[in-house]
Amino acid sequence: MLANKILPKGTVLHEVISLGEYWYRTYTNPLPMLAKELKIPFGKDKNQYLLLFLPNRPIKDKVIIYFHGGGWAFGKPETFRNNAACFVQEGYPVILPAYRKVPKFNSNQIREDAFLAIQRAKELFRQHLGKDIDIIVGGMSAGGNLAALAFLDQESQQKYQISAHQLKGLIALGAPLELQHMNKALSLRIYAGKADSKQFQKANPINFLNHPAPGPILCIHGTRDGLVNYKSAQIFAEVFQKKQQHRLDFLTLPNTSHIEVASWPLQQIQVKKKILQWLEDL
């Protein structure tokens, strides 16, 4: 990578330059998508929709709901098709939700979209498969934060009629799981509010660990992440392992940046193997 030659890892500038290379590789190396793709709204806003991928092969009994990253301000499901393709190739149905963004919206509305997307997904699988299906939630970066909130927030699960028994696992990649250890970026301030506010507490996944999690977690983070401090994931993992009965597998990637973790569908073979094996073992 060009960024590795001209800048030290662990800085925002390194990640920004790496992002351009990442998108170039993503667009020029699309993985084969052996699935039927449907775009389905779950709200009135233009960013309240999801992409549903149904594999053209025997379907496994778990669906992957994978939230895209982008600092809660950027990104869209269409640019994460390579992530979906990795799961589809193994026979997993996949849903990539869109969601409303900062600065127009904050965590109150964005969290709502995460639960609305899961609620809509349940309806879709009853329609397409004639039954309920177990759910794995996951995501990269900001998407990992949303997936963690959807996985852990029992009060919101009840509000949106999502059964904790259906939530079988969480995959959090480069995810902000303890917001107190994040860099004080403007997007975080708009998303979560002030650190002492109720809004911030509800946007911070670590605050939900006093209640039993519905299942195990796979957490993957690079030690040279320039956008989401490694401690954000490390401290969350330590607290989870002390308070929860389910296991948490924490894969630490030495000298690895945020964008390098995000590149797992094309470059990080170790990460891809870990994710797929973890899913198989559930």
In order of their start, the domains of the chain are 2-281 (3.40.50.1820)
pLDDT on residue 6: 62
| CB contact set of 2 (below 8 Å; sequence gap of 6+) | 17, 21
For the four alpha carbons of 165, 221, 33 and 112, in that order, the dihedral sign comes to positive
Rounded to a whole number, what is the distance in angstroms from the first to the last CA of the chain? 35
- List, for residues 187-198, the tens digit of each pLDDT value: 999 999 999 999
Residue 137, pLDDT above cutoff 70:
yes
- List, for residues 62-98, the tens digit of each pLDDT value: 999 999 999 999 999 999 999 999 999 999 999 999 9
Integer CA distances (angstroms), 223 to 15, 117, 201, 233, 259, in order = 13, 31, 25, 10, 12
- List, for residues 22-53, the tens digit of each pLDDT value: 878 888 888 888 889 999 999 999 999 999 99
Kindly state the tokens that stand for 117: 């997307």
SS3 letters across the chain: CHHHHHCCCCCHHHHHHHHHHHHHHHHHCCCCCCEEEEEEECCCCCCCEEEEEEECCCCCCEEEEEECCCCCCCCCHHHHHHHHHHHHCCCCCEEEECCCCCCCCCHHHHHHHHHHHHHHHHHHHHHHHCCCCEEEEEEECHHHHHHHHHHHCHHHHHHCCCCHHHEEEEEEECCCCCHHHCCCCHHHHHHHCCCCCHHHHHHCHHHHCCCCCCCCEEEEEECCCCCCCHHHHHHHHHHHHHHCCCCEEEEEECCCCHHHHHCCCCCCHHHHHHHHHHHHHC
pTM for the predicted model, two decimal places? 0.95
pLDDT on residue 23: 78
- List, for residues 262-275, the tens digit of each pLDDT value: 999 998 889 999 99
Report residue 18's pLDDT band, with 50, 70 and 90 as the boundaries.
confident
